[in-house]
Every structure is written in structure tokens, then in C-alpha cells.
Amino acid sequence: MPGVTAFPPFPEDVPTHPLLIVDYQLVRAGDAEETNKLWKAATELGFWYLKHHGVDEEVKAMFDMGRSTLALPLEEKLRFEQGDQGFSFGYKAAGMQFMDDNGTRDVTEFLNISKDDALAWPKMYHRTYPSTVNERMESVIKPFVQKSLAINHFLIDVLNDKLGLPKGALAALHNPDEASGCTARCIRAPPRLERANKTFLNPHTDFGSLSFLHNRLGGLQVLPPGSDKWYYVKPIPGHAICNIGDALNIFSGGILRSNVHRVMPPPGEQANFERFSLVFFTRPNDQAILRALSEKSLTIAEAVSRAPPGRYEPGVTAKEWLVRRIKSQRVTNYKGPESWKERKGTEDSTIPLLAQI
Ligand SMILES: O=C(O)CCC(=O)C(=O)O
Ligand SMILES: [Fe+2]
């Protein structure tokens, strides 16, 4: 097909972790078995494939938008850089985040487009974007943001009910009309690095509630609970990869799992290609307090009573959590090996973050 790169297949001989496949249309129809599958995935690994989500066209157009924008001259992209103060929206240049205790710079660049800016367009809410974004705001970005939000909100509602929360309790913390860190992100990592094992994105948990990820090339890896080995997640055409982030982990008293993951160069022949990926991050309202909703659900109260005191009450708003995690990974804020700890999310302290395959 003209204009479409045919990638080599994902190799069969690399360690790969199977994810449960959840059919979005069945969940929407209230199918009990499918809903139970979603619950199992969200509580055990915190990752699952989502099929029949109906966003394929918008995803394709977003990949085109990301490719065009990240192909702009660096000087132009830098006019939109996110900066060092923990502001999420805009462009993040390669080399602006540190990767390890030694402050090694990353090789990945990305563009974050705020849900608030997409929905307010043509008005500006948080910031401005390059022309390649502006010209697709109405036709591509807004529809992608709206559809992604609708899917994530529906899944959050289902999890809300399974957690024994009153109807709409989590929805109230994710009101699309309020300012939030909800973001569409296009990521680019280079092909063929000399150091073949250089990490693209360090081990991390996602900062918000629910991530809706679209991958064409391999590279994403998960560290399954109790394992000290990393496993690839194989991209399957038309299947999004969904995962729980820190905020839902905290609201649920740890019942929903915010699992550690990282991105490595794609395996095998795929490593010869530039790697583009696309995520929509649903995050709570900026002013939402991050704490377990114990008083609203017995199930959550019980989970919290088994956890170390304060584990699910970090005492900050969703915005403060986000700002801390973004700011502390900028190279300009690197102060030595202890800086690594400031980036921490909800991952278990027992997880060996630098475990190798
Ligand atoms: O590119 C990917 O496959 C995953 C990206 C990711 O984990 C993130 O941006 O938080
Ligand atoms: Fe992530």
C-alpha cells in the first residue's frame, strides 16, 4: 500500500507476555463474562488488549500527525518544549529526561497535546502547538481525544461498579469539563542505535488513571507481578493496549494494579525502523485529591486496612503528583543518584527496577 511502511513481523523467539483480550463492544453491551475479564486484567496485571474499540481511523490519522510534527526542524519543535517546571503539555526533546542513577540522557522525543486544548479549540486553554497540530485539531485530534475519553470513561465506570463504589464516584473525579492532565502523546524513538540495548523509556508506572496505547512495533515490556524478568507485549493490529496508572491504583486502595513497564528498542529486524507510538492518558481532574475512596466502598476500605498506613494517601492533588513526576525526570533537575527516587510512582518497593531479560 503506498505510504504505509510494511514492518518486519514481531519475532516469535523473544520472551512475550500474553495479555487478556477484552472486547469493548461486549463490555458496552454489559456482557458479564467480558466484564469479569476486564476486572481480572485490571486487578492482576493491570494491562490488557482492547479490541473492537472503533478508533482505528482516528489512530491512523494521529500517527500521520505525529510523524509530520516530529519531522519538523528541531528549532521549530523547541519553540513548544514543555520546560523544566513539570508542565506536561507540548514537545519533549530527546535528551531532556535522565534515564538512570548516572543521569544518562534519553533518546526519545514526544509531543503531548492537552485534552483541554483540543476540546477548547480554536480557543487556547493551556498552550499553543505547531502548525501541523493546529491544522488537524478539528479533523483529527479532537475526534481522537473525544473517542479515547469516552472509552476510558466507560471502562472506569465499569471498574467503579466492580469496586463497590456508588455510581459515578470515579466519574466525578474525571469530569471532562474540568482542567486535567489528560493528554494525547505521540512518541518517536530512533532506529538502529549503536548500543543495541539502550532503553527508550525507563521502568515506570503511568501517572494518571487509564492509558490507551497504540503500538505498531514491539518494544513495550512489562515486569509481571512477582517476576524479575521483563517480557515484551506483542503489538496486535487493531488491538489497543490499556493499562492502569497511579491514580486508579490509589483511589482503589491498590486493588487496581498500576504495573511497571518500560520501552526497549523493538526486537529483531524491527529495530531497523523508527518507532512511533501513540497514547491517550486519562488523568483525574487537576484538583482531585489522591486518596483511597475507603469511605465510599467497603471493598476499598478492607484493602486499605491491609496496607501499610498512608500507602494510599500521598496527600497531594492529581496535578501535584503529575508535576512532581514530570519535573523530577528532567535532566536539568538531576542532582545525583538520589534524584532517581524523586520520580517514584506507585510501584512496589520490592520491584527490581533494573531487572534484565
Ligand atoms: O511507547 C510505548 O509503547 C509505551 C509508552 C509509555 O509507556 C508511556 O508513554 O508512558
Ligand atoms: Fe507508560
In a domain, 355, yes or no: no
- Residue 331 dihedral angles phi and psi, to the nearest 5°: -55, -35
CB of 99 closer than 6 A to ligand 1? no
Distance CA 120, CA 189 (A): 30
Say which CATH number the domain at 127 has. Answer: 2.60.120.330
In a domain, 356, yes or no: no
Distance CA 285, CA 149 (A): 13
In a domain, 14, yes or no: no
Kindly give the distance from the C-alpha atom of residue 205 to the centroid of ligand 2, in angstroms, as a whole number: 6
Could you report the per-residue pLDDT of 71-108, keeping only the tens digit for each?
A: 999 999 999 999 989 999 999 999 998 887 778 889 99
Q: What pLDDT, on the 0 to 100 scale, is given for residue 241?
A: 98
CB of 263 closer than 6 A to ligand 1? yes
Q: What pLDDT, on the 0 to 100 scale, is given for residue 194?
A: 61
Q: What pLDDT, on the 0 to 100 scale, is given for residue 328?
A: 84
The pocket of ion ligand 2, defined by CB under 5 A, consists of 206
SS3 310: coil
Q: Which domain holds residue 121?
A: 21-342
Nearest to 162 by CA among 276, 251, 289, 222: 251
CB of 277 closer than 6 A to ligand 1? yes
SS3 35: helix
Nearest to 231 by CA among 356, 348, 352, 350: 356
What is the tally of structural domains in the chain?
1
SS3 263: strand
In a domain, 13, yes or no: no
In a domain, 12, yes or no: no
Q: Which atom of ligand 1 is nearest to the CA of 200?
A: 1
In a domain, 348, yes or no: no
Which residue has a Cα nearest atom 3 of ligand 1? 220
Residue 308 preceded by cis peptide, ω within 30: no
Q: What pLDDT, on the 0 to 100 scale, is given for residue 357?
A: 31
200 CB-contact burial (10 Å; exposed 0-12 / middle 13-18 / buried 19+):
buried
CB of 215 closer than 6 A to ligand 1? yes
pLDDT average per 10 residues of sequence, the chain (357 residues)? 72 97 98 98 98 98 98 98 93 90 88 98 98 98 98 98 98 97 97 73 93 98 94 98 97 97 94 96 98 98 95 94 88 75 66 39
Ligand lying nearest the CA atom of residue 219 = 1
In a domain, 197, yes or no: yes
Which residue has a Cα nearest atom 1 of ligand 1? 277
CB of 205 closer than 6 A to ligand 1? no
CB of 213 closer than 6 A to ligand 1? yes
Phi-psi region of 64 (alpha: psi -120 to 50; beta: other; left: phi over 0): alpha
